[in-house]
Amino acid sequence: MDFNHCRDLSRVIREAIRTSNPEIFSDPSSELYTFSRLLVKNRMFRITREGMKLLTNQLHFFFSSASNEVCKSLVEGLVELEEVSIRDVVLEVSGVEIIRESRISSREKFVTLSPINAGTNFKRPDFEETFTKDIFKELKKRFELLTGESADGMSFKARILKLKPVRIKLDWGYLRAYLMVFNAEGSENLLRIGYTTGFGKMTDMGFGMVKTTLGNPKTDNA
């Protein structure tokens, strides 16, 4: 399986949601969701030049949205499809589990489950500053779209604790994104939106999903 499978998984997710609810994406807020990379049970794979050589057929991913209707449509669509394809790998849908969300406060420590698309060149000394500005701008935009209220007066600040740049291949080329551990502080509503819909841009393409350091889901190869 190709390491750069996020665009293929995004197509599967979108197809499943539309299978259950064909008109759902007429509402722009319905596209505010995020998902993790595919996770392989017990890290049962080998790394080859072509990608991951799977030694098990047990894979899973995490999905999150601020909309219960989007989550419901994804579950119903996957059940209806019964199997999905990631490139040449055909996967049978064997089950769906609902995981309790963590309670989000105004101060959190997050770990990425998929890389964040934000910031400029990580080698620049002002990377943390530009990263914070990009994230803050996107969170405010999402808050206003979801609530219809102004985000004026809200705050957000990030401090990066660990950083791993990755190159993600998309249809139009490669994109630099970042796996990381970071502290976030600011308006509780903004942190909750980041947690439920993803941090940064293009979250519906498999970017920006996080878990908290307490009460987080089990991730076998995260």
pLDDT digits (tens, 9 = 90+) for 25-84: 999 999 999 999 877 666 656 676 666 666 566 678 899 999 999 999 999 999 898 888
Angle, vertex CA 98, rays to CA 92 and CA 103, nearest 5? 145
In this predicted structure, what is the pLDDT of residue 68?
93
Amino acid at 116: I
Q: Which residues of the chain have pLDDT under 70?
A: 1-3, 40-46, 48-58, 214-222
CATH classification code of 107-212 = 3.30.70.1900
Contact assessment for residue 175 and residue 200, using Cβ atoms and an 8 Å cutoff: no
Give the C-alpha distances (Å, rounded to integers) separating 154 from 114, 117, 119, 174, 218.
26, 22, 20, 33, 32
Does the global pTM surpass 0.95? no
Same topology, domains 6-92 and 107-212? Answer is yes
Mean pLDDT of all residues belonging to the chain: 87
Locate the domains of the chain by residue range: 6-92, 107-212
CATH classification code of 6-92 = 3.30.70.1890
In this predicted structure, what is the pLDDT of residue 120?
73
